[in-house]
Chains A and B, each alone.
Chain A
Amino acid sequence: SYVLTQPPSVSVAPGQTARITCGGNNIGSKSVHWYQQKPGQAPVLVVYDDSDRPSGIPERFSGSNSGNTATLTISRVEAGDEADYYCQVWDSSSDHHVVFGGGTKLTVL
């Protein structure tokens, strides 16, 4: 089955740029979606189809995907961005399964 690998944690100072990676075999050929989850809350979609943003999500959130790595980039990080972030893909090669990455805890120093 398809596996997505994320770093357990990323730390960044306010105002700096955070990059959260999501590794997978030839992930560049898939559409990657990213979710933000704050404690006690349901996940919220922040980037879909590699680099599109849902309405209401700040332009500070962006995404890219190539080769074996997809990346969520958060520019000008704010304290309110501290959360867990998950990548997700649809694996069409294995009976239409959904796969989530293990999640990355973003800490704003």
Chain B
Amino acid sequence: QVQLQESGPGLVKPSETLSLTCAVSGYSISSGYYWGWIRQPPGKGLEWIGSIYHSGSTYYNPSLKSRVTISVDTSKNQFSLKLSSVTAADTAVYYCARRIQLWSPFDYWGQGTLVTVSS
């Protein structure tokens, strides 16, 4: 059974960089598929942040592209998110998820982790 687990600081100061990691078990990232990040501000809807293919190709939401970096570490079977210059508007639950092809749905999700941006 594929499982994804987000980890990282729950509190980040404004203007700093948010960093999260998604550990994958039950499947080897190096075998393929697309791995992505989705966030949800409190009381609001889902927003796609970006995705990475196992080989390293990346796809970002244009509204966040200038601040986002997604990377993959196949040796640790995990992928990561960095979001720079954060503001209170970046406070959200951050989910990692998997999809098989670009046009596929997100079939496996992490439980989500709340990140609050505050001084």
* Residues of A in contact with B (beta carbons under 8 Å apart): 1, 31, 33, 35, 37, 42-45, 48-49, 54, 84, 86, 88, 90, 92, 94-103
Contacts and interface: CB of A to CB of B under 8 A. Distances in A.
B27 interface: no
- List 8 A-B pairs, minimum CB-CB distance, nearest first: A33-B105, A98-B48, A42-B109, A103-B45, A48-B105, A100-B46, A90-B103, A96-B59
Contact of B36 (A1, A98, A102): A98
Contacts of A49: 105
A103 B47 CA distance: 11
A99 B95 CA distance: 15
A88 B59 contact: no
A100 B112 contact: no
Contacts, number: 61
Contacts of A37: 46
A95 B46 contact: no
Nearest to B103: A90
B106 interface: yes
Given A97-B61, A97-B62, A98-B36, A86 B107 contact: no
A44 B104 CA distance: 14
Contacts of B111: 42
B110 interface: yes
Interface residues of B, number: 21
Contact of B46 (A86, A90, A94, A97): A86
B59 A95 contact: yes
Contacts of A92: 102-103
Interface in B2-53: 36, 38, 45-48, 51
Given A97-B61, A100-B46, 16 more contacts: A1-B62, A33-B105, A35-B46, A42-B110, A43-B46, A43-B109, A44-B109, A45-B105, A45-B107, A48-B104, A92-B102, A94-B62, A98-B36, A98-B51, A100-B48, A102-B45
A79 to B, nearest CB: 22
A54 B109 CA distance: 14
